[in-house]
Structure formats: structure tokens, C-alpha cells
Amino acid sequence: MCVAALAWQAHPDWPLVVAANRDEYHERPTAALHRWEDGTLAGQDLRAGGTWLGLNESGRLALVTNFRVEGFPKSGMASRGRLVTDWLMEGLVADGAEMNPFNLLVADRQSARLVSNWPEESEHLLGAGVHGVSNGAFDRPWPKARRLCDDLAGWLAHDAGDFAGLFSALRNEAPFPEEDAGEGPEPSYSGVFIRNPVYGTRCSTIVAVARDGQGMISERRFSPTGEPAGETKLHFEWNLLD
């Protein structure tokens, strides 16, 4: 039940800001955010080898969420984490035909777009503003995605530069009642942050790129009980003049 909000060219000082939660089974082996040998800045899924959110100093960023569809995921299909690494290494979106349903946000120094393979291949070029994605259709955002977008927009308007407010927004556990959930998940999984000992929020990540190309990625990790379990912050630079 991952959720992410992306601000693209929505603030004079911050051309790109991302706030995202990764929800996953706590038993799935994972490496914390670090700088890979190839220069990727990301955490790593140690089972399939890819990642859910990453960037590099070539000026590329990507994040992937599952698309919740009855009958999926199916075993034996290609890992969706490859979508992120392929974009970062080659600037290409991998063929998603043999993958379980997904939403993929990709950005570089010129543009940002949303790519999906469900119910068919589609692509949306993102205009200036705040955009959200979770585990449903991009054009019908779940309530948790709308809530996080509202919080990110408020942060840009009033608190830009103090990332504590964004991390607080990512810790919002308040569920949506069944009647307000729309196409979203059941109330116990409808909050921005999910506290569950089996499947819940594993980490919160904030990425911010300033107008001069100086960037920061910060990851806060959580235990199966939802308590803080570590934090990593890395700096990078995008050459915006290329």
C-alpha cells in the first residue's frame, strides 16, 4: 500500500520534492539507503535485487508502487524493482508486459511522468504542480495519496526547507472510514502510515532538489511495531546546466 507525492516545478526554490512511504512485508530482506557501486542512491530489495525508489547524480529519479488488482501479484513474473534500476542506469523504461501491475514515476532534469502497465500501457506527462500515486489508478487517486499531496502542497506554501513537517505527514496513521475510502484499501490499510507487525510501512523517504542542483535524500526506517529503527541522509548534486 505504498504512497508517494511529488512536487514538480511547484516552488521557486525546490524544482523537485518527493515524499514517499514504502509498505512491505517486514520479513522481506532489505538494505538501508546507501550509495551503490554504480552511483545509485537507494535502499535495496535483497530478495530480487532492485529497489522501490532511487536516484543518481546523472539527474534521474524513479519510484515504483504496486497496482492493486484482484488476482495479482502472480508468481514467476519479472521484478518491478528493475523498472527503477533500468531508468537510473539507462534512462529507459523497461517493458512491463511480463510484470505484475505497477505505477512508475520517473523524472529527470527536464520532465516527470507516470507510467503504468494496467489495465494497459499508459503514460502521463506531469505538469507543474503536486501529484500523488498509491496502489490504484493515477487519474483516480486514493484518499491517502490526496492527503499526502495536500500536506506536501501545504509544506511548499509555508514550511519549505524544514523537512520535519514532511516526515510528520508521512507518519499520519489516521484511517479513512469505509464510506470515504472510495477505491482505496480497507480502513486498516488506508492511512498514509501503516502500523502492522506483518505488512506495514518499512520506511519513509524524502528527496529534495534545490534550484542550484544541490540535493538531499533522507530515509527513516521502522520496526514491525512501527517504531523508529534507523535513519540515513545522503547529499548529491544534479548539474542542471547540461
CATH value at residue 70: 3.60.60.10
The verdict on residue 242 lying in a domain is: no
Range of the domain at 29: 3-237
Q: What torsion do the CA atoms of 32, 37, 41, 46 make, to the nearest 10 degrees?
A: -40
What's phi and psi for 157, nearest 5 deg?
A: -80, -25
Q: What is the pTM of this model?
A: 0.96
The verdict on residue 120 lying in a domain is: yes
Domain count within the chain: 1
- One digit per residue, the tens of pLDDT, for the chain of length 242 reads 799 999 999 999 999 999 999 999 999 999 999 999 999 999 999 999 999 999 999 999 999 999 999 999 999 999 999 999 999 999 999 999 999 999 999 999 999 999 999 999 999 999 999 999 999 999 999 999 999 999 999 999 998 889 999 999 999 999 998 766 567 899 999 999 999 999 999 999 999 999 999 999 999 999 999 999 999 999 999 976 54
pLDDT at 182: 66
Query: How many other C-beta atoms can be found within 10 angstroms of the C-beta atom of residue 135?
Result: 23
Q: What torsion do the CA atoms of 101, 107, 112, 118 make, to the nearest 10 degrees?
A: -10
Query: How many other C-beta atoms can be found within 10 angstroms of the C-beta atom of residue 46?
Result: 10
The verdict on residue 233 lying in a domain is: yes
The verdict on residue 219 lying in a domain is: yes
